[in-house]
Structures are given as structure tokens and as C-alpha cells.
Structure 1
Amino acid sequence: MDYLAIAVALVVVTASSVAIHLLARARRTQPGNLPPGSLGLPVIGQSLGLLRAMRGDGGSRWIQDRIDRYGPVSKLSLFGKPTVLLAGPAANKFLFFSGALSTRQPRSVQRILGEKSILDLHGADHRRVRGALLEFLRPDMLKAYVGRIDGEVRRHLEENWAGRATVTVLPLMKRLTFDIISALLFGLERGAVRDALAGDFVRMIEGMWAVPVNLPFTAFSRSLKASGRARRVLQGITREKKKASQAEEEQGNGKASRNSDLITCLLGLTDGHGERLLTDEEIVDNAMVALIAGHDTSSILMTFMVRHLANDDATLAAMVQEHEEIAKNKGDGEALTWEDLSKMKFTWRVAQETLRVVPPIFGNFRRALEDTEFDGYLIPKGWQVFWTANVTHMDASIFHEPAKFDPSRFETENQRASAAAPPCSFVAFGGGPRICPGIEFSRIETLVTMHHLVRQFRWKLCCKEDTFVRNPMPSPLLGLPVKIEHRASS
């Protein structure tokens, strides 16, 4: 009987403890505190619905439908994790500046890009890695890259555009930006290794926003395999450059070539005690992120600029005039300079308006480091927080006639434009301390390429169907085939 009484007492105590814990937990996360919405089915949640909408050019509508139904704060489940969707300038400000949120990516992205990338680090580690990347992107170094990028663009247009009646824009722009990034970031010469790496990066990106199920027939599985191959190539490049740097330092020549490419630059950075600032793993993970950022975002931006200019004669004419004025002061074959780029103000406004209408990055994730609140709703520790650029970019209360393509929105002297774009509304490059560190690099790529393109060629769209899909980045139907002809005056 004594044993029975003890057993009963233990059961009662245990049950009471569990009940108290569950009640306390329920009180902390009672539905009244959580945002409205449903988490859907386990693991899958709303992931398939969002991905299906994005692949039919309906991602923005899908997000807006949720906002119309639940308001600017709602809960759902994306890529296997409970998620809070936030929308609007105030939400963007909270996302960009709150210390309660980190940028930890979904596990699918993490496994493809690595856990030591700038996308996943926070606090001191994020500041250390970001500072290292910005060392390579210093203004004095960016100025030196203009001539090298100019050479890559001229070579690309001569090899892939000149003498042709039709071209498909998106794959060519991807190849151009890949060649630029490979040369400047990795010091990787043209050849079989560069060609294989280009294909693997395309496959990597296709699986980044996929349901994280690692089965042979899934996009996620194909992406993981491509990531592994790309990582091995970059590890090999890092080892080779480390040996080359050590050999140069022994000969007293190390400093001369330390900034010749991103990997060499990162290998050469040291702290106050002479210790390397970044590990090999951090260098490889961030080289992969830098390649995706510099390769895909710029190529998509330029592709959609070509797409829009095909149907906007007035904007194209203004761009051509701007670039012809710059060319008047250049000698035959003379490369563009940093000073030339500073005169391309209208072209960059066209680029910004293209980014507003079709942002390359649909949205991004944060992770709650602790229980936090926004707009009266609880965001539990460990939950994802998701935001999208289109919510504010296409908001008529922020941008007048948002469906209209109007580069004058970005004239700094235009009072209407400044009033129409409050902080944290135009977020094509993110915002806050984590704003994309490669903005200026992307600007150089875009301006140099468009300078030579609009001066050398005219083009017309081959397809009347003017739609695009996202996977997860936007892609015009069939890659944007165009008919081209050479301008006689260039």
C-alpha cells in the first residue's frame, strides 16, 4: 500500500507539474497574443501555395491576399518553420533595426550556402564578416574595378551580341555577371572550371526556396548536390590562393596583390594580434553569398531594364542621349571611369524604378532571438519573420500610381518623390545595418553594361506575352528573347 501511495503521489505531482507548465506556456502564447492566421499542415504549411503562386507570377498577389484577409501581421508556416509575415514601412523598420531579430535563414538556405555566411551571422560575428567584405568594397578599390568591368562587358558584347539577329537576354546577362564576379571575386580565369561553376550556381539557386525534403527527385536535393560541387571548387581556389599569398609574403611581395580579388583580400585580413580575421569556412561561405548577390541580382536587374526599354521609347531615348554625351569625351576604345559613372544619373534612376517594380529578391527572413512583440502581437522565440519588398513598392499610399514606370520618383531634387518614399519603403537592397554591402558594385556593373548596350544595339521583344515567373528570383518568359540590330553611330 505504501508503494502504491508513493506511486500515486508521484503521478499526481508529475501530472500537476506538466499541467502547470502547459498552462503557463499556453498563457504566454495564447491565440489572442499570436497574430491571426493558420500554420497549416506540419512541415509543408503554406510553402507549396506560396511557391506555386510565385512560379505563376502571383507571389505578390498571394501576399496581398493574406494582408487583405488577416492584416499586416499574420502567422503561417514556411519551409518547415512557424513564421510571422510583417508588412509595411513600420514593419520594415522593426525588421531592419530590432535587436530581438537575427537574419538566420531557413534551414534549406543554410544547408546550401553554409552556416558562416553573412546572411546567418549576428552581433560581433556579423560586424566582423561585414567589415571584411567592405574592405574589398572600399570606394578606392571600387574605382579601380570600373576599367576591369568595362573590359569584361566589351568582350561579352563582342562575343555574344555582335553579328547576331536574336539573343536571349537573361542567360547572357547571367553569364556576363558571372564572368565579372568570377574574375573580380575569385580571380578565376575563363575555362572549364568557370563553366562548371556557372551551371552549379544556377542549380543551387533553384532549390534555395524549396520544401527542404532531401529526396533524389526534388529541387532541394539537386541544389544540395550543386552546392557541394561549388563548395569544393571554392575550397580548392582558397587553398591555392593561400599558398600563393604565403609564397609572395616570403618574397616580400604580398601586399602588392593582396586586393587583387575577394578571396585573396579576405585571406590577408588580420586582427590587432596578427591573427587571421576569417576562417577558410567563413571565406568560402561568404564567397558563395557574394557570387549569388553579385551574379543574380544584377543580371536580373539589367534583363528587366532591357525588357522595359523595349516598350518605352521615351525612356530609352533619354538614356541613349545621356550615354552619347559621355562618349563624346572618350577616345576610341577608352574605358569608362568612376567619373563617367557619376554622370549616369538618369540611367541609375531607371535602374531604381526597375528594382521597385520587379525587385530581384522577393523577400527575406529574420529569426526571433527572444519573445518579442510588434503591433501588439507576440512573435515567439525561434519563429521566423518574413517580409517582402513588393508590399511597400506597390503601395499607392507610398508611391503615386505604383503600376506606372516613373524614374523621376528617384530624383533627389523632386519633392514629390521624396515625400512619396518615406524611410524603409524602397527596400530593394534591404535596410538598416544589414543593407546589402554590394550596392555600389551592383551599380557599377549595371551602369557600365547599359552604357555599352544602349549605344551599340537596338532591340525588340520576340514574345508578345509579357509575363515572368519567380524561382525564387524573377525570370521573363523564355529568358527574354529579343531581335537586335547594331546602331550605326556607335
Structure 2
Amino acid sequence: MMSVILATLLLLIPVLLLLIRRRRTSKRVPPGSLGIPIIGQSLGLLRAMCANNAEKWIEQRIRKYGPVSKLNLFGKPTVLIHGQAANKFIFSNNEGTLSNQQTQSVKMILGDRNVLELSGEDHKRVRSALMSFLKPESLKLYVGKIDEEVKRHLEMHWNGKQQVKVLPLMKTLTFNLICSLLFGLERGKQRDQFLGSFQRMIEGMWSIPINLPFTRYNRSLRASARIQKMLKQIMNKKKVELERNEASTHQDLITCLLGIKGDGDEQVITEKEIIHNSMLVMVAGYDTSSVVITFIIRLLAIEPAILAAVLQEQEEIAKSKKSGESLTWEDLGKMKYTWRVALETLRLFPPIFGGFRKTMTDIEYDGYIIPKGWQIFWVTSMTQMDNSIFPEPSKFDPSRFEDQSSIPPYCFIPFGAGSRICPGYELAKIETLVSIHYLVTRFSWKLCADNNFKRDPMPVPTQGLPIEIWPRKTVS
């Protein structure tokens, strides 16, 4: 009888230990509610972003639940974190602990082989391939091409006009730059077809992943399929051109990626990875750059002293150029004040509100357990408006970036940090500086509407930022 009791106890001990462990774990999960399955708090966050009070929405959660809380975003249980410690935790954690996974909607629309979804050796391999095109040494070759696109854009859409809407035009400009630099796709019918599908695709990047015909998510998925089909056609054409020695591996992103070979002459990056990462770079270059340039134009219209300083710097560069001569990499290096203006714009109006990671194991953070498989949602912009980090945070002050080493680590990370820093950072910088150079030296402007904007999910002026423009005397 005693042996039976002992045997039963031995069998029950593992079960009891498991129950105790689960009870402890569940008690240490952050406070909050997961809400309705799939939907959770997604609609609340999206409404807050659209109404331009997402930060207040976050602050209300913090007051209610504390600095760490659980919720359900875009179909997955999620833990919200924010602040300098949270940013450091995200960007300094090893990939065995956190996976750089985006929301389900982003993953399905951009594809699961883009660099934001990859970890470990796959991430290193694909990132290295992308950087072979996007590193400064390579991008130096494309400054002239970007210069030509910007000047052509201004001649077509700004010259002779009395009023323009800035955001739609900046999106047109960045789209044309992307088509030219990434795909070697020149103006014409194919580029126009590309634009319509591309705009539809990005509308559902942050959406509840319910794949029904009437949803934004479904429309974006169908647009993504069309984009991928077009990119495959472009890639196959370029592959033939490379085999016939009719193309250079330096002429655009796709030929560059196709031309990267391993020791056995095998392709280092797969065709699926080329397509998915082309889509990622395309979205990043299109949305982020157009938003930053738009808000710089908006701020220069209401900050005359800042505009005067930018104009002085750019006119000095223009005076050093011969008539019609393009800007060079060296010219961009002289635009230090203009870039500080861009950084301050990014601080006040960050294009990226926050980001997501996926836990690869149970993680302890700030006294709580974040279970394996959950999302972590961190809000980068909260530190950028923290008065203890940036005094008078609502004031537009480019001098904050005269000495960037004075800014505490992980408090201003508009392009990410560490091994996850945005690979397109330098390209965005070139696009911004070249565009601002020609805009301020060729035009004057004033706002025609209010300064309201919303997030969708990036900040966008509610009316597209209409401005009245008139020509400035070109420096010769």
C-alpha cells in the first residue's frame, strides 16, 4: 500500500510543480486586458493615431496599468513598454531572446523573407547584401541620379505653379526616386501601374489581419500580390540582361542583389528574398522620406530664423556650382545645419511611432514575465518628448543636435540602433538633403491651411499641406 502511495506522489509531483510554475508565471504577467480576441485594443490605438493623440492614449494606459501592461494588438497578445530602458532592452537584446517580427499585417503584405522578419545568420546574410547597395561608398555613385530626379520633379510639378499640395508631390518624388534607383524603372506606363498598386498596398500595413473582401487588409494583400508579380517580371528581365552582359551590377538594387555570388558561384540571396526586401526598401524610402521632407517644409514656413539659416547654408553651396552642375557627395557633407533641422523634425514628428518584437522564450522585464510567443510593442517617440531629456520638447531647436554625443543613449533612435539600424538611413538622408537644397534655393512659400495632422500610421497633414509658392531668384 505504501509503495502505491509513493508511486502516486512521484507521478503527481511534476504535475504539481508545473501548476505552481504556471500560477507564478500568470501572476507576474503585466497588468491589463487582452480584450476581444484578434481585435483587442487595435481599433482604439488606430483611432488614437488617426486623431493625433496616440501619445495621450499611451499615457492613459500608463496611468491605469503602470509603465508595463498587456494588451492585444493586431491579433496577438502584446506587452507595451516605453522609455530609455525599453529602447535599450529592444536594441541590445540577443536574437535568441527577441525576434524582430513585425505585425501579422506587415509580415503578410511585405513577405516573410524581408530583413525585418529574419534573425541570426539569415538576417546577417540578407542585411549584408542590402548594404552592398545602400552603404555610403555605393550611394556616392547615385547622388547625381537623385539630383536629376529632384530637378526634373520641380520643373514638372512646381515651376509656374502658384499653389501646390506638398505631401502628394513629395510622395510622387520619392516614388520616382525609388523606381529609378531600386528597379531601374523609367517613366512610362509600367511605372504608373506600379504606383496605383503600391499606394493600395501600403494602406493596410497597420491593420487588423482579417482577410475578408471588404477589409483594408484584404485590399492590401491583393495589391501586394500584384507588386510581387511585377517585381518578379523586372527581376527576370534583369537576370537575362546580366547573363548577356547587357547590365551592370551597380545600376540599381535588383541587379546588385542578383549579382552577389557565393564561393560556388551560387546566388547569395534568393529570388524571394530579393522581391520581399525590394518591397521593404521601397516602402521605407517612399513613406519615411516623403513625410520628413513635408514636415521640414511645414516647419520652415513657420520658423523664419531657421529658414534663413538653412537658406544661407544652401546658397553658399549653390554659389560654388557651375550652372546646371549637379550636387556631389562632398556638397552633402557641407549641409550640416540642414541635417540638424531634419533631425529635429524627426524628433518632433517621428515617422515611426513604435515597433514590434516577438519573444523567443519567457522574458523577465521590469519585474514581470513576458511569455514566449508574445509581441512586445515599444514606443520610441516617448523619449523624444521627455522634458528631462530634451528641455522644452515642443520647441523646434536644431541646436540640440550640434553635439549628438550629449544626448543620452537610446533616447533618440529614429533609424533604430545596433545591428537593427535602418539599412536605408543614408539613402533617406541623401533624398532629404538634395530635395531641401533645390526647394529653398528655388522657391519661397507660405502655408495656406491649418497645421493639423494625423497618423495613418505615419504623420500626415490632414489637407496634404497646401502652400502658396513663388520663385526665388536662383543663385548663379
TM-aligned CA deviation for residue 25 of structure 1: 5.6
Query: 1:29 pairs with 19, 25, 29, which one?
Result: 25
Give the residue type in structure 2 aligned to 1:23: L
Q: Is the 8 A contact 1:64 1:391 kept in 2?
A: no
Provide the C-alpha distance between the structure 1 equivalents of 2:58 and 2:386, rounded to a whole number of angstroms.
13
Structure 2 residue 397 is matched with structure 1 residue 397: no
1:52 corresponding residue in structure 2: 47
Query: 1:318 pairs with 292, 309, 313, which one?
Result: 309
How do 1:76-475 residues align onto structure 2 when only pairs under 5 Å count?
Answer: 76-99=71-94, 100-248=97-245, 257-412=248-403, 418-419=405-406, 421-463=407-449, 465-475=450-460
Give the residue type in structure 1 aligned to 2:213: P
TM-aligned CA deviation for residue 139 of structure 1: 2.4
- Cα distance, 1:489–1:395 mapped onto 2, change above 3 Å: same
TM-score (norm 1): 0.92
Q: Is the 8 A contact 2:415 2:425 kept in 1?
A: yes
Provide the C-alpha distance between the structure 1 equivalents of 2:65 and 2:343, rounded to a whole number of angstroms.
31
Could you report, residue by residue, the CA deviation over 1:164-206 in whole angstroms, capped at 9, with x for unpaired residues? 0111100110110111111011001111211121222222221
Provide the C-alpha distance between the structure 1 equivalents of 2:67 and 2:180, rounded to a whole number of angstroms.
43
Provide the C-alpha distance between the structure 1 equivalents of 2:105 and 2:352, rounded to a whole number of angstroms.
16
Could you report, residue by residue, the CA deviation over 1:420-451 in whole angstroms, capped at 9, with x for unpaired residues? x2111101111121010111111100000000
Q: Is the 8 A contact 1:165 1:483 kept in 2?
A: yes
Provide the C-alpha distance between the structure 1 equivalents of 2:341 and 2:463, rounded to a whole number of angstroms.
24
TM-aligned CA deviation for residue 273 of structure 1: 2.5
Provide the C-alpha distance between the structure 2 equivalents of 1:305 and 1:138, rounded to a whole number of angstroms.
25
Provide the C-alpha distance between the structure 1 equivalents of 2:177 and 2:441, rounded to a whole number of angstroms.
20
Structure 2 residue 34 is matched with structure 1 residue 39: yes
Provide the C-alpha distance between the structure 2 equivalents of 1:195 and 1:160, rounded to a whole number of angstroms.
16
* Local SS of the residue matching 1:310: helix
Provide the C-alpha distance between the structure 2 equivalents of 1:456 and 1:282, rounded to a whole number of angstroms.
41
Q: Is the 8 A contact 2:143 2:329 kept in 1?
A: yes
TM-score (norm 2): 0.95
TM-aligned CA deviation for residue 20 of structure 1: 4.7
TM-aligned CA deviation for residue 21 of structure 1: 8.3
Provide the C-alpha distance between the structure 2 equivalents of 1:120 and 1:28, rounded to a whole number of angstroms.
32
Give the residue type in structure 1 aligned to 2:194: L
* Local SS of the residue matching 2:29: coil
TM-aligned CA deviation for residue 361 of structure 1: 1.0
Which portions of structure 1, spanning 4 or more consecutive aligned residues, are displaced by more than 3 angstroms? 15-22
Give the residue type in structure 2 aligned to 1:350: V
Could you report, residue by residue, the CA deviation over 1:25-75 in whole angstroms, capped at 9, with x for unpaired residues? 6235222x1112111111111100000000111112111222233232211
The aligned length equals: 465
Query: 2:67 pairs with 63, 66, 72, which one?
Result: 72
2:3 corresponding residue in structure 1: none
Provide the C-alpha distance between the structure 2 equivalents of 1:38 and 1:230, rounded to a whole number of angstroms.
38
1:61 corresponding residue in structure 2: 56
Q: Is the 8 A contact 1:150 1:448 kept in 2?
A: yes
* Local SS of the residue matching 1:424: coil
Give the residue type in structure 2 aligned to 1:237: I
TM-aligned CA deviation for residue 488 of structure 1: 2.4
Could you report, residue by residue, the CA deviation over 1:287-307 in whole angstroms, capped at 9, with x for unpaired residues? 000001111100000000011
Provide the C-alpha distance between the structure 1 equivalents of 2:172 and 2:149, rounded to a whole number of angstroms.
11
TM-aligned CA deviation for residue 347 of structure 1: 0.3
- Cα distance, 1:483–1:398 mapped onto 2, change above 3 Å: same
Instruction: Structure 2: give runs of 5+ residues left out of the alignment.
Output: 1-7
Moved more, 471-480 or 192-201: 192-201
2:5 corresponding residue in structure 1: none
- Cα distance, 1:25–1:107 mapped onto 2, change above 3 Å: farther
Q: Is the 8 A contact 2:148 2:326 kept in 1?
A: yes
Instruction: Structure 1: give runs of 5+ residues left out of the alignment.
Output: 1-11
Give the residue type in structure 2 aligned to 1:461: L
Provide the C-alpha distance between the structure 2 equivalents of 1:344 and 1:285, rounded to a whole number of angstroms.
33
Could you report, residue by residue, the CA deviation over 1:315-344 in whole angstroms, capped at 9, with x for unpaired residues? 001111000111111000000001100110
* Local SS of the residue matching 1:258: coil
Give the residue type in structure 1 aligned to 2:273: E
TM-aligned CA deviation for residue 226 of structure 1: 1.0
Give the residue type in structure 1 aligned to 2:85: A
1:485 corresponding residue in structure 2: 470
* Local SS of the residue matching 2:463: helix
TM-aligned CA deviation for residue 22 of structure 1: 6.8
* Local SS of the residue matching 1:479: coil
Moved more, 39-48 or 284-293: 39-48
Provide the C-alpha distance between the structure 2 equivalents of 1:108 and 1:399, rounded to a whole number of angstroms.
34
RMSD of the alignment, in Å?
1.8
TM-aligned CA deviation for residue 140 of structure 1: 2.4
Provide the C-alpha distance between the structure 2 equivalents of 1:204 and 1:461, rounded to a whole number of angstroms.
30
Provide the C-alpha distance between the structure 1 equivalents of 2:464 and 2:51, rounded to a whole number of angstroms.
15
1:5 corresponding residue in structure 2: none
